[in-house]
Structure formats: structure tokens, C-alpha cells
Amino acid sequence: MLVADDEIEEQLRAMLAVRHLPSLSRISIRVVDAVVFLAGTVITYFERNVCEECCRQIPGVSGVCNDIQVGGPGLRNREPSADKEVDESKPIPPGAAVIP
């Protein structure tokens, strides 16, 4: 059974609304031939993943194109090395995680 694109969009908007995550209300949703296209910006990767998982739970969705960006107050998308210089003269404490 084929599900109309507008029905998929309506179901997705309802699923996102009950999550009570404010940034999800700013997500752009477009459905074309049962493929869901997501765009916009959220604050956390959790919110980005919630959007995609909701899409995959809707019967009739044949694919998801998730172009949601993560960023917001206090969180910037940039390379970790750009945050601060690493002082290599200081020893690494025992048990510290070293991430290359």
C-alpha cells in the first residue's frame, strides 16, 4: 500500500511534536515520492538522530535524506584542534583518555 507524501509528513510532524524538544519544531521537512528530506539546525546529535529515527518508524517511508546540522549556543561545528592549543610539555595523567 502506498502512503501519500503529505500523510508521511503529517505523521512525522506529529511524532516530533510529542518529543517536546523545542529545536525539532524548526526542522524543515519535505517528502517526495516517499523519501523524507530533513534540513535545519538542532542543538545536539541526539535531536538529529531522533528526527531520523522517527522517519524510519513511519510505514511507507522508502528513504531518508538527513541534512540536519548540529550547532547552537555554546556548540560550534569546527575541528577540535581549533578549540585550543595542546601543551605537549605537560605529562598525560594516568588513566586519561588520549583521542587522536
User: What is the number of alpha carbons within 13 Å of residue 51 lying toward its C-beta?
Assistant: 30
Q: Is 15 left (phi over 0), alpha (psi -120 to 50) or beta?
A: alpha
List domains and CATH numbers for the chain. 5-73 (3.30.1340.30)
pLDDT at position 5 over 80: yes
Confidence at residue 79, expressed as pLDDT on a 0 to 100 scale: 45
pLDDT at position 53 over 80: yes
Going by pLDDT thresholds of 50, 70 and 90, the confidence category of residue 91 is low
pLDDT at position 42 over 90: yes
Higher-pLDDT residue of 10, 22 = 10
With a threshold of 0.75, does the pTM exceed it? no
